[in-house]
Structure 1
Amino acid sequence: MSLMTTQQGGESPGKKSVYLRLLASARPYRKRFFWAVGCMLLASACNVVPPWLLKNVVDDVLIARNLAMLNALPFLLVGLFAGKGIASYGHQYLMNWVGQNVVMDLRLRLYDHLQRMSLRYLHGNRLGEIMSRITNDVTILQNLVTSVVVNLVVQSVTFLGMVGFLFYINWKLTLITFAILPLTVLILDRASKKLRIVGHAIQSELAGLSAVVQEAFSAVRVVRSFATEDLELSRFRRSNRENFRAVMHGVQVQAALAAIIELVLIAALALILWLGGREVVGGGQTPGELIAFLGYLGFLVQPIRVFTSVVSSMQLGLAAAERIFSLLDIPGEVESPVNPVPLGVLEGRVTFRNVTFSYAEGQPVLRDISLEIVPGEKVALVGPTGSGKSTLADLIPRFYDPDSGTVLVDGADLRRVNLRELRKQIGIVPQESLLMKGTIAFNISYGLPELSSEQIREAADIAGILSFIESLPEGFETEVGERGVTLSGGQRQRIAIARAVVRDPRILILDEATSSLDLEVERQVQEAMNRAMKGRTSLVIAHRLSTVRNADRIVVLDGGRIVEQGRHEELLTGGGMYGRLYHLQFDRGTGQ
């Protein structure tokens, strides 16, 4: 499923509107939010008063020559702006506190949701685009929840307050002025729809830009090996250009909107100056009232200009929110049942009953697989690339659910057991042993912080890596670097084996754990694997058939079906696919 599937046309990602969902996210912080709104209202009120004071200065001080009021005005002005400063500080601090917490909560929800999402989805989408949701989109949303909301409330209240004073001073002139408002509202409506579409385009292009960078640097060795730096640069340049075009389109729309609205408002101001001046000359209103009226119209330009800018930022923020909520709305494919069947300590019996599985509809990878693995048995899965070996193994820890059929462990349907309880009793050594940034001890005990030093040491001994670790100056506290780059492939693989066996799993899955190693290191890792598999139900996925000679049973897959199974000697003399694959490797010198 594409990242943008639910984004077309700026539609709301779920039944609730994005506005209500954002308000729901702020519910835990509603007390501070209401205090912030109170401060916004006070600051807005302080914005509305100055033109009215200007009227009093002209009519009651300058024309009436009232010295007492003149003496009081400086104190009123200082007090007014002191109150405004305190209120502005309060709403800025409180709204940023609320906004930062809302965004932090959303970022945590998004990260947690991504951690639990279907592997189908994660493997089927570009990592850079997914990362863009947590970084770029959340950052834009942060601006919406803090600055945009503040400006929206303050400027809206200021606008309404000034409109109220305009009606009080001269309702006829006000009606004439606001006869032009429908045109302004129409422009804003059209522009907001356009800006929402532009906002989606900008975020999409930015996500694509992040994806290009992520892919290029993740495969930097491949890029350099094939001398394709210029090709990657051209891809980045093309993506960068598309992002530039999307951003500039948004700038054009926003700038044109601000200029048009300002022109409309200035035209209204010029008309009112002419009509109001005629009323003052004719004695219909005082000079102070006209000056206050014009002052309010002048000040009215600021909230409307800010509001036009807010509309742009709001549409970008809502576009980001929609993208975030659309991702949160994607259900996890595999989840624990509400009332799981207790597993207890596993014996290690694994049963596949008529299992069919496909990543894409109509393209099955496994076809009607039936297989039973008894506790303590060492079973090897072999077959050509794409025959379904790794997919079959991935069904045991329930990374996926089969399209049809059932997978059972100790007789319990995996769809009825608690995932955490199941996976804690399964050890997996993948083909590419990625280590986490941290110490060797941290990587071996990953997910089990309660393990003792002796348990970690024992696991390292089983994996055949203990002597190497103890030879290091810092021993188990040695930092391995990001993704384990400071260690060789064989060392990373043995640490991965230690990480699997330290859990004392009842089921151990080794997915082509030696395929990327040279023969000498492979033998060392194979010895570690043999020690790790002792007394456990083990499933070994092998590319090099020489590593599975001693398996209790070898299961051969081809085209998603089991085509033969048995011991090494039986299959070798049976004249089937296993014999052909084995002799092919032997003839090439890789079967020894």
Structure 2
Amino acid sequence: MSNKEILLRLFRFLSPYRGKLIVSMIAMVFVALLTGAQTYMVKDLLDKIFIEKNAFYLYTLTIAVVVVFGVKGLFYYTYNVLLERVGLSVIMDFRNRVFRHIHLQPLSFFHDYPTGTLISRVIADVTLMQQAVSSSLVGILRDFLSIIVLLGVVFYLNWHLAIFCFAILPFAAYPIITFGRIFRRLSTTAQEETANVSNVLYETITGNRIVKAFNMEDQENKRFGEQLDTLFRVTVQDAKFRCLQHPLMEFIGGIALSLFIWFGGRLVINGSMTPGEFFALMTSLIVAYDPVKRIGKVNSAIQQGLAAATRIFAILDIKPEIADRSDAIALLPFQQAIEFRNVHFTYGDDTPALSEINLTVPAGQTVAIVGHSGGGKTTLTNLIPRFLDVSSGSIVIDGHDIRDVTMHSLRAQIAIVTQQTILFNETVRNNIAYGNPDASDEEVHNAAEAAHALSFINELPSGFATIIGEGGTRLSGGQRQRISIARALLKNAPILILDEATSALDTESEREVQGALENLMKDRTTFVIAHRLSTIRNAHRIIVIKNGRIVEDGTHDSLLAQHGEYEALYTMQFN
């Protein structure tokens, strides 16, 4: 993506703030004009006061200096505040846009983009954009206008010297452009390495129990250190070029100034220019050269921001593979049946996961799904709420293909309890009411009681107001699972998916959770994935999946009588 394309896309994000931008640009023009007026005053200061000794100019110029500096300060404050506000607003919009876009993606997206990488995009990359948009671009616009006005003053005073100045500009621009390309390349590499650092950091912090259990602290320290060392080498290289840019620009400026003094001095000696004009010209050039240097200095930040914008746009340009159709309708409350019609599913790498799945589940039926690991059990249930989309075939609820209904209305009728309980660093109450934030305290209380969670909640320091820590770390595994069940109960969805909800629990915790699950499953259409076959004996129906196909279908007793795959699984487990 070229710089022009990136800037055009960035300017589209600026359109809601067009009014503030216009006011700030007007203020910026006045600042540039007043800067030119300041340098022009040097001519009258020398010629009228110090050479002609004109008392009238002494008083008027003194007052004019105060007025010019005061008004310039007012305009300077105005445009800076407005542009900073616009820049920060755009960055906030970007963070919201990226965050929302990530949540539109299917589960497969998160396989390709690790958590640390996404965090780096939203935090680090957008921060670099913030520096470029709200600080560097502000400075460049201001400095560019100042250069134009100051060169205009030079042209007005002596057009010969003005042409000389314009001839010098390409030599000052060349290192800015050259270093810009280098900064862009190094910034892209540095941001990629920063994302890798975030990934390692996230993995080791979230997996700290395993790191400690296997005595891998030294190995993880070494891995993190190596990643930091890679990032360090890139940033040092970037720093070397940034440090080289300033003295190079100073040297070019010194050559230009010496040539100007030589040409200008000859004109003063020949009488073609007054000393006041010469010093006004030299002041304008010195003042103009300062923003030229600043442009070179902020060039690194701008290139970092553009590289960050490229990475952010790369995320925003990923179209969700699963989205509502333009004519999607809302799914009415579930009443009849869920049908899998010749369903096939293949992952992106052409790995077949499900083949020829034909299954009809009437409302109110409990279907247990069993089979060896990797057989396709979880994939099958992920298709129902459209976490994944079928490769061919269809899933139909009450006669509606789920691809023809809105995902919001579909998922509103599905509750999920998984083996890996996902809780938030919030209060017990807010975690239970996660899918129904407007629920009353009585409804939350009743859900907790039905989930067999009320007894331990009341023993917590602040009861329902207790903060449970990241991932619910202050609770035991069984307690976390019962909070998750209470959350599903409060949602009161007619379709329920239980993905190995008790497999990670000890016997005592499983007994408590099993009782809560029985309350949850009442009068609901339930899909139960279970490795412990003892927990599904009372299911209305059990299907056995092997290599992505349904190979057996029946009740517990009828499947044992077939002496097939289910019996082999059952015998293996209980022997």
| TM-score above 0.5 | yes
Correspondence 1:110 to 2:98: yes
Query: Is the deviation greater in 371-380 or in 49-58?
Result: 49-58
Quote how far apart the aligned CAs of 1:11 are: 4.4
* 2:192 partner SS: helix
Correspondence 1:77 to 2:65: yes
Matched residue type, 2:136: V
Cα distance in 2, alignment partners of residues 479 and 160 from structure 1:
59
Correspondence 1:145 to 2:133: yes
Correspondence 1:446 to 2:430: no
Cα distance in 1, alignment partners of residues 471 and 14 from structure 2:
37
User: In structure 2, do the counterparts of structure 1 residues 464 and 348 end up closer, same or farther at CA, with 3 Å as the change threshold?
Assistant: farther
Quote how far apart the aligned CAs of 1:202 are: 1.8
Query: Is the deviation greater in 294-303 or in 173-182?
Result: 173-182
* 1:406 partner SS: strand
Name the structure 1 match of 2:359: 371
Cα distance in 1, alignment partners of residues 253 and 538 from structure 2:
87
* 2:551 partner SS: strand
User: In structure 2, do the counterparts of structure 1 residues 248 and 476 end up closer, same or farther at CA, with 3 Å as the change threshold?
Assistant: same
Deviations 1:247-291 (A, max 9, x none): 222222222223222211210111121122112111121111121
Name the structure 2 match of 1:386: 374
Quote how far apart the aligned CAs of 1:136 are: 0.9
Cα distance in 2, alignment partners of residues 443 and 250 from structure 1:
46
Name the structure 1 match of 2:341: 353
Quote how far apart the aligned CAs of 1:162 are: 1.2
Contact 2:183–2:238 at 8 Å: present in 1 too?
Answer: yes
Name the structure 2 match of 1:518: 506
* 1:179 partner SS: helix
Deviations 1:316-341 (A, max 9, x none): 11111222222111112222222223
Matched residue type, 2:486: A
Quote how far apart the aligned CAs of 1:501 are: 1.8
Name the structure 2 match of 1:488: 476
Quote how far apart the aligned CAs of 1:540 are: 0.3
The count of aligned residue pairs is: 575
Name the structure 2 match of 1:4: none
* 1:556 partner SS: strand
Correspondence 1:281 to 2:278: no
Quote how far apart the aligned CAs of 1:348 are: 5.4
Correspondence 1:126 to 2:138: no
Quote how far apart the aligned CAs of 1:443 are: 1.3
Cα distance in 2, alignment partners of residues 523 and 569 from structure 1:
23
Name the structure 2 match of 1:171: 159
Contact 1:506–1:536 at 8 Å: present in 2 too?
Answer: yes
Name the structure 1 match of 2:328: 340
Name the structure 2 match of 1:292: 280
Contact 2:371–2:546 at 8 Å: present in 1 too?
Answer: yes
Quote how far apart the aligned CAs of 1:380 are: 0.7
**Structural mapping, 1:142-291, within 5 Å:** 142-291=130-279
Correspondence 1:43 to 2:18: no
Matched residue type, 2:362: V
Alignment equivalent of 1:568, drawn from 544, 553, 556:
556
* 1:502 partner SS: helix
Cα distance in 1, alignment partners of residues 208 and 336 from structure 2:
41
Quote how far apart the aligned CAs of 1:198 are: 1.7
Quote how far apart the aligned CAs of 1:76 are: 1.5
Cα distance in 2, alignment partners of residues 533 and 486 from structure 1:
27
* 2:167 partner SS: coil
* 2:373 partner SS: coil
Deviations 1:192-212 (A, max 9, x none): 222222221121111111111
**In angstroms, what is the RMSD of aligned CA positions?**
1.7
Name the structure 1 match of 2:5: 17
Deviations 1:398-441 (A, max 9, x none): 11111111111122101001111111111100111121222222
Name the structure 1 match of 2:310: 322
Cα distance in 2, alignment partners of residues 338 and 582 from structure 1:
47
**Structural mapping, 1:411-426, within 5 Å:** 411-426=399-414
Cα distance in 1, alignment partners of residues 6 and 426 from structure 2:
39
Quote how far apart the aligned CAs of 1:49 are: 2.2
Name the structure 2 match of 1:302: 290
Deviations 1:327-368 (A, max 9, x none): 111112222222223322112521111111122232111122
Deviations 1:70-89 (A, max 9, x none): 12222211211111211121
Contact 2:435–2:491 at 8 Å: present in 1 too?
Answer: no
Cα distance in 2, alignment partners of residues 203 and 431 from structure 1:
35
Contact 2:478–2:510 at 8 Å: present in 1 too?
Answer: yes
Contact 2:436–2:490 at 8 Å: present in 1 too?
Answer: no
Cα distance in 2, alignment partners of residues 71 and 502 from structure 1:
81
Cα distance in 2, alignment partners of residues 135 and 17 from structure 1:
23
**Structural mapping, 1:505-584, within 5 Å:** 505-584=493-572
Quote how far apart the aligned CAs of 1:577 are: 1.9
Q: Any gaps of 5 or more consecutive residues in structure 2?
A: none
Matched residue type, 2:299: V
Contact 2:25–2:79 at 8 Å: present in 1 too?
Answer: yes
Cα distance in 2, alignment partners of residues 569 and 503 from structure 1:
33
User: In structure 2, do the counterparts of structure 1 residues 64 and 146 end up closer, same or farther at CA, with 3 Å as the change threshold?
Assistant: same
Name the structure 2 match of 1:96: 84
Deviations 1:553-592 (A, max 9, x none): 11111111112121112222322222122111112xxxxx
Cα distance in 1, alignment partners of residues 276 and 303 from structure 2:
40
Q: Any gaps of 5 or more consecutive residues in structure 1?
A: 1-9, 588-592
Quote how far apart the aligned CAs of 1:502 are: 1.5
State the TM-score, normalizing by the size of structure 1: 0.94
Name the structure 2 match of 1:29: 17
Deviations 1:138-194 (A, max 9, x none): 111112221112211110011011111222222222323332332333332222222
* 1:180 partner SS: helix
Quote how far apart the aligned CAs of 1:447 are: 2.5
Name the structure 2 match of 1:467: 455
Matched-pair identity in %? 40
Deviations 1:223-264 (A, max 9, x none): 111111111111111111122222222222222223222211
Query: Is the deviation greater in 468-477 or in 571-580?
Result: 468-477
Cα distance in 1, alignment partners of residues 330 and 51 from structure 2:
90
Cα distance in 1, alignment partners of residues 158 and 467 from structure 2:
76
Quote how far apart the aligned CAs of 1:51 are: 2.3
User: In structure 2, do the counterparts of structure 1 residues 11 and 153 end up closer, same or farther at CA, with 3 Å as the change threshold?
Assistant: closer
Contact 1:348–1:537 at 8 Å: present in 2 too?
Answer: no
